[in-house]
Structure 1
Amino acid sequence: DVFALVQVFCVGELAEETGLAETEVTVGEGWDAVFSPGRVAFMRPLTIDLPAEEARALMLSRMKGLEEQELDDIVILRRAADCDRHRMAPFMKPYLSHIFAQD
């Protein structure tokens, strides 16, 4: 199953970029696809059972110990308008706008 392999890869990427283990997150059901010129991004929701500020602090602390730190920061977004203040991959803004519109 291709999507099962993608999920394994995604959880591995999460650990590589944030230091979080698969056992610390819950992987949501289903996938969203975001189409942009030259790429298709498949997204799946992940949740962690911590308040946003605590989750951010945990990830930042673990990122310091990673062999190669890929991310500069973890930002907390509470509404689509927050996306405009941060640099992100082009497919993220449409995806997050979709997610925030569901709330």
Structure 2
Amino acid sequence: MEWLVLIGTVIGGALVFLLRKLGGIWRSAANLAALVAYAIVVAVSGGKVIEIIVDDEVLMTTVHEIFLNELFLGGSAYLAVFGFSRLMESMGKRGK
């Protein structure tokens, strides 16, 4: 199963890399999507931390509920792909 995540990250990262290379609206869209994904991941995880503090209850089920949140999973997935594409971009700049 991990190989599917690896392949998805590499292919998705390559696609985002190509979108960013096109420039213009495509670069802005990829960056905006990363900004929204970041805000979602922070809001969902921060909300869960606040819930744990307010309830004064740290149960493994409470902590792991975050992985059942589709927004968190989708945002995290896009951030992984976006981060991979940015790493590919920075590696290309070092060679020049």
User: TM bucket by the smaller chain?
Assistant: under 0.3
Higher relative contact order (CA closer than 8 Å, sequence separation 6+): 2
| Bigger-Rg structure (1/2) | 2
More strand by share: 1
TM-score by length of 2: 0.27
TM-score by length of 1: 0.25
